[in-house]
Structure 1
Amino acid sequence: MLQLVGPTAWTRVTATLTYDPRDPFAVRVRFGGRSSDGTDDDGVEWLVARDLLHAGLTRPSGEGDVRLWPARTAADVLFLELRAPSGHALFELSRAVLAGFLATTEQLVPLGGESDAADMDPELLALLQDE
């Protein structure tokens, strides 16, 4: 659960982090996707660089659409800001939860080993076919 920081109140938002070793540079963050009654909704998914998330555990990181930084006053709080042409959102999340998730991804693909794990040929082929 993340907290969406609003002007007068905070709202709990369901978010799911997923990592696929076949796409070792990216973490997928899915907001929504299943409502409280168990039916599917129109969730939104963002791709975030794993190294940006790792850096954001200890210092401000990211530029442009995705930024992450630790709170100055609370040890277990991080802020995640997402920007899109339609607007922006600021979320509060647990540093310990994100650090635990990233530790699990590092068991699958160690930091710095992403290039060795990435299968770039299908990606290259897909890009070339889109020309």
Structure 2
Amino acid sequence: MERYAIYRLLHLGGMFAMFMGLGGIALHVANGGTKASNTARKLLASVHGAALFVILLGGFGMLARLKLVQGGGLPGWIYLKLAIWVIMGAMGTVMYRAPKVARWMLVLLPLLGMAAAWIAVSKPI
């Protein structure tokens, strides 16, 4: 299998796992659960954290295969994707600290995912 395809699979698999972890947290908190009452908290946090790492690994691996990370700076669209990655990384904590946000995350998370996909496909800047 081509290396680019492997990095792409890692990137996509990481996204699926991240959405699974964040969805689990959002559903738990939206139903009135707390951080202390979440029996799967450690599992969800581990899945979320590992997924964030795999997303970066796959993403930068693809960039290296495309020769976009050699030399000067990165293209602007990569910074947009990194900003979305940081937001997604903070979402687990935000939902526990502001439970009213959790219901909105069930709508916002897929929209952020679609925004990230659009940025990757269209490379606007």
Shorter-chain TM range is under 0.3
Q: Which has the higher helix share?
A: 2
TM-score by length of 1: 0.27
Q: Which has the higher strand share?
A: 1
Higher RCO (C-alpha 8 Å, min separation 6): 2
TM-score by length of 2: 0.28
